[in-house]
Amino acid sequence: MIQHYLTVALRNLLKNKGQTLISAAGLAVGLFCFALCTYLLRYWMNEDNEFNNKKRIAEIVLVQDDGHLVSGTPAFLGVDIRNKQFPIIECITRATYNNPENLSFEISESKTLPYQLYVMETDTNFITVFDRHLVCGDISAINKQPNTLLLSQSAAKRIYGDENPVGKKVIGQDQKAYTIGGVFENFPANNSISPYEPIEALTLSVLDGFLEQQIKERTGCNTYALTLPNFKPDDLDKQLRDLNLRVLLFDKNPSLVRAFQLGHTKYKNTGYALFYGFIFLIGLLIFLSSLLNYYSFITGNFYNRTKEFSIRKGIGEDKKHLFFLLFTESCLSLFFTTIFALCLVELLAPGFQFSFFRIQVDFDSLSLSGQIVEYLLGCIMLSAIICGIVCLRLDRISLIEGIHFSRHRVRNTLLGIQYFIALFFLSGAAIATLQTRAGEQQLFSSLNNDEKERIFFVRTDYQYMESTYP
């Protein structure tokens, strides 16, 4: 019987080769676009998941009276919390913002090479809190040595290749001399510590550094605490609120010290949720449009053969055989869709990179293929439901009704939904275009075209300025 089902299904698909190709290819493109969008959504939802201690890491923040969070924390806050000896804290660490620095690396006794790396000033507890293992280097020796620099695996590979860099000298852009003390395991790209730039180097025990100076009334670093195994960041937050610990900044009212689970601070989640939610909505609409087009063809093909099915019913074929006949045809069409979709992944995904302002995400072909297979399994289940509904519908009509059956109602319903989606896209595009034009007119309303063409942009960030050190 299986061979019979496959033969009949293939015959009917080949009978409408053009429509079969268009519907399968359209669904494949829709699946591919939806997989790209949900890949970004999963990337955001899986933030920090590669940290084994994620549920125990607390991010210490300052909350103003109006509920807004202060950007960063002062360097002395971590020391104050450590001195209070909270019983549920295993260790606490501080880290400055991840900024690019121009460094000169000793390659040999007579050769140095300049590199620009993203550097954070921190302490050895940073490695412990985020569970990064040292690939080479001794943590006890690092703790005793001032002005130590740790390289990530990728940075060490790029600069020194397979050579062990421990003991090499490094000169910073502030002319401070560092000694490479070890190489740490790469931080995952999908992290909330530095979501936009890679963590390539850590400077520890910096003499007269930002952390050592502990400047009052000035933020400039982030503070993290690792709770004991039986406690969570919420427990630490409760103790901090009970203590009513506050910090005075910028001559304003003192800000309350709070603790949130890593990556759960409000100022990060709000913007991300809106941005990735919009991307998911776009992918979902594209997928629904292609899915409706596909099932419009499938159901139309089924109802075009109502006469054949009614005759089969008349000669004694039951609903079970009819269901398997329709389901086999649907699965065979989805098989062709799978081939198209996986071909798109292999051809296009390796060169794709999502870039929006400072957010950059590279797409992994294997993960995308896995997502497409998951969604196709959902399509198979939906096909089974549709085939079951069609079988029930055909079982209720007589032979004469089946010969004169019309499928216009089903087709018109599916087309109406597709028109609504298309109208949504066109309206959104028109609104975005009009808003952009209105913004440009308001921004440059006093300038003519010649004056607009003479406007140029100059970067004055310190990394773009030429060094003036002697």
> What would the DSSP string read from start to end of 291-330?
HHHHHHHHHHHHHHTHHHHHHHHHTT--HHHHHHHHHHHH
Six token digits for residue 358:
């400072």
Query: What is the pLDDT at residue 306?
Result: 65
CA of residue 86 relative to chain centroid, distance: 35
Q: Which DSSP string do the residues of 77-132 spell out, in sequence order?
A: HHHHHHHTT-TTEEEEEEEE--EEEEEEEEEETTEEEEEEEEEEEE-THHHHHTTP
Spell out the domain ranges in the chain.
2-47+270-441, 54-262
Neighbours of 178 (CB within 10 A): 23
Residue 107 token pair: 């390659």
pLDDT, position 30: 87
What pLDDT score does 169 carry? 94
d(CA 165, CA 155): 11
d(CA 400, CA 392): 17
Q: What angle do CA 109, 115, 116 make, to 5 degrees?
A: 150
Q: Which tokens belong to 367?
A: 């993960």
Q: What is the pLDDT of residue 402?
A: 47
pLDDT at 184: 95
What is the reported pLDDT for 462?
A: 44
- β 201-204/111-122 pair status: parallel
Per-residue model confidence as pLDDT tens for the chain (470 residues) = 677 667 877 777 777 778 788 888 888 988 998 998 899 888 888 888 889 999 999 999 999 888 888 888 999 999 999 998 899 999 999 999 999 999 999 998 889 999 999 999 999 899 999 999 999 988 888 888 899 999 999 999 999 999 999 999 999 988 899 999 999 999 988 888 988 788 999 999 998 888 888 777 788 899 999 999 999 999 999 999 999 999 888 767 888 999 999 988 755 555 667 777 888 888 888 888 888 888 877 777 776 666 666 666 656 566 677 788 788 888 888 999 999 999 989 888 887 777 766 667 888 889 899 999 999 999 999 989 988 887 777 666 544 444 444 555 555 665 566 666 666 666 766 776 776 666 666 655 666 667 666 776 665 554 445 444 33
Q: What token pair was written down for 195?
A: 């979501």
Cα torsion 49, 53, 55, 59 to 10°: value is -100
Position 287 scores a pLDDT of 87
pLDDT of residue 350: 80
User: What does the block give as tokens for 409?
Assistant: 């109602």
